[in-house]
Amino acid sequence: MKSSEQSALPTEVYLSFVSSLYQYRQMLLIGMLSHVVTFLLAFAKTADFFYFGCATAIALIWVVRSIGMRQFDRENLAALDVKGIRRWEIRYNVGAVCATITLGLACGYSILISRDPFAELACVSVTLASMVSLVGRNYGSARAVVVMSLSACGPIIIGLLGLLDGFMALLALLVVPFILTTWSMARGVRETLRKNVLAASEISMIAGRFDLALNNMPHGLFMLDADDRILVANRRACELLNLGDQARVKDCHLDTVLRYGVRHTFLEQDQATQVLKQLDQLMKGLQSRALIPFSDDLFLEFSASQRANGGVVLIFEDVTARVRAEKKILQMVRFDSLTGLPNRDYFSELVASTLAEGKRTGQAGFMVLDVAEFKHVNDTRGHVVGDRLLCAISQRLKTVTGDKAIAARLMGDEFVLFFPNETNRRALEERISAVHTQMRGVYEAGGFTFNISMSAGYVIADSADFRLEDMQIKADLALFESKSREKGGCTAFEAKMDAHYLDRQKLKTDLREAVETGGLSVAYQPMFLADGSRIECCEALARWTHCERGPVPPDVFIQLAEEMGVVSEITRFMLRQACLDCLKWPGHMAVSVNLSVLDLRNSEIVSIVTDVLSETGLDPSRLHLEVTESCLMEEAAKVQTILQELRGRGITIAIDDFGTGYSSLSYLDALPLDIIKIDRSFVRNIREDARRFKLLRGTVNLSRELGLKIVIEGVETKDQLALINEFKCADLVQGYVFAAPMPSAGIISLSDTLLKKTAVPKRRNRRVAPAF
């Protein structure tokens, strides 16, 4: 082999060729024996020790070559470079050429010197026979083929030419084509094998890459034949299904692998049957993908591709993480994140599903639960504790209802329950009542103990006629009725509630129209000096006369306005009209306007009051603003800030209905107040009830110690007035004993009348009581 050829061959191909020289050693043994026997026969025929020497040389050469071949076996072939491989090639060639030179010399000797016909025939025959096997054994080394053929045939050619015979010379020339043919055959074999070796190497490389890719892909793979036997299984497939070594599943039926595994059973019979059924539909093309749960911790998604020969390639991946994420997302979408109960939308789905699956006979119940005074928990203990309380309530709700009802959190502190088919209405009512009773009571949350009451409303209807939207409206009406009667009650829906609801909704519509079109009016109830000699202030009272119903009580339409969110518009109207009317009154008189809870939740009330004063031109000192204790309970810090800002603008602040709320006395020092209006409940029966009168006097004394002016409301009799004046309990008196509410014109007329009555005394004494 030429050096250029060697350098052109890849190392692994060159090594493969050289390794082929050291193979098929039995041929060397057979060749050695045939050579030794031939030479010994020639020695026996001719008694020429030359042939004996050739036999001995052949045997020794074989021994040395055998030793070299054993050394080659111990060589680390993977570590050999080109130089190392060439060294082993040369070592082989030296031994081979020694053998062929011995054969060639024996042939030349027999032709020229011995000239024994037997010896000549024997030596030439065995040499040419060896030349035939030369191609099969030594194709791996071009150098070896050339040198060995020349060293074996060269002496024959020389011997034949040395006989100086024309025919022998022609015979010698015929040996040359034989040599050339040998070279050509060796080259052809070597080239063919070189291509095969390169192709095998490339195939091996491709197979290695394919195997590497196959066994490192994140998906599992089964290649099945037409009988669903596994031809190929990658490592990931065996890992996912816990099958052990890949080789162990080869030629196994897919049914057997899935049902029994290789090392142990991992699927139950029914489960394996169901899995095979899904895979069968997939492999038949009835499905594009199949998501199969093998256990709670293993979800595999399969896809299939048909093979040309009728087999199938199954590819599957572990989608457990995705399934869990989807379940978590579904949990978030369907369930309330705080309590873990179904949310409104999922509750509707559950109810619809239950009704669809049921027999559609019997009774079904719907209940709304509302936690009484829950806002008070948030305000006093904080929202974290409030959330924990809701969780505790939800947990008890789950325990109480069990699988007998579907419970959900509607919003805030409201919960809803659906009671499916019940044949006995009375039994269903008892179940609903029992749930309400068990939900009330003591709860532990955030280190605090709460005694919680629940207001509830429910409705019962035939399952066939059950419509969730309608039932929710009716249950809400029943809940509203429960709250109106007493907090903590449980009320069933009645038909009259529906009529009352419709009537209330119509009243709201009419009220909105009245607010928008100026359908409200203002009446004023004066506040007199305790002796009744003069009006100092008038309380502005909203009035609404309905076109059909007549006068609507203020406590009715003001509550509706708060529910509708239009109370601030009424307040704006009252402020503007009161200020305009006050400008028509004597300069010492002030006007008092009530603010609602919703007004004080909105920081815009300051700008509303300021704008009205600026628009009307009324002196801020002539405007009094009244707030109730219920306004002060909610968001006390915010309310205090608003009142301080209003008072800072010169407006007088009064607390109305004092004594009817919670912790009344604490507000007297904490809030920016000027006037305290004592509720009529303190005045009732003060002549007969000494305890009540003492309470009135104590409140008055305490208020005066704090620098507050006193207005007593609800004074209706002269006897009550006389007692109040006797003990100097009031700076101003408001009540029917002096005057009922009247229009603005009535205030002007009444003021003029009082002025005329006191005209003569005023000439005698010009001192006038200061207005406030």
With a cut of 80, say whether residue 764 has pLDDT above it.
no
Q: Which residue shows structure tokens 């196959």?
A: 214
Would you place residue 358 in the very low, low, confident or very high pLDDT band (cuts 50, 70, 90)?
low
Condensed to tens digits (0 to 9), the pLDDT of residues 686-695 reads: 988 888 899 8
Please give the mean pLDDT across all residues of the chain.
Answer: 84
pLDDT digits (tens, 9 = 90+) for 13-45: 777 777 777 777 777 788 788 888 988 998 888
Q: What is the pLDDT of residue 77?
A: 81
Q: How confident is the model at residue 93 (pLDDT cuts 50, 70, 90)?
A: confident
**pLDDT at residue 266, as a whole number:** 59
Predicted local distance difference test score (pLDDT) of residue 382: 85
Is it the case that residue 260 has pLDDT exceeding 70? no
Sequence length of the chain is 772
Amino acid code (one letter) for 263: R
Burial class for 291, CB neighbours closer than 10 Å (0-12, 13-18, 19+): middle
Higher pLDDT, 147 or 611: 611
Q: What is the mean pLDDT of residues 719-743?
A: 94
**Token output for 85:** 């491989």
Entry pTM: 0.53
Rounded average pLDDT over 336-351: 88
Phi-psi region of 335 (alpha: psi -120 to 50; beta: other; left: phi over 0): beta
Average pLDDT of the segment spanning 751-772: 60
Whether the predicted pLDDT of 761 surpasses 70: no
Read off the pLDDT of residues 156-168 as tens digits, 9 standing for 90 and up: 888 888 888 888 8
Question: With 60 as the cut, is the pLDDT of residue 273 above it?
Answer: yes
Long-range Cβ contact pairs of 393-396 (< 8 A, separation 24 or more): 393/339, 393/439, 393/443, 393/452, 394/338, 394/339, 394/340, 394/341, 396/438, 396/439, 396/443
For residue 4, the model assigns a pLDDT of 47
Residue 103 has pLDDT above 90, yes or no: no
- Residue 736 vs residues 350, 593, 710: alpha-carbon distances, Å: 60, 19, 18
% of the chain with per-residue pLDDT over 70: 92
pLDDT tens profile 624-633: 999 987 776 6
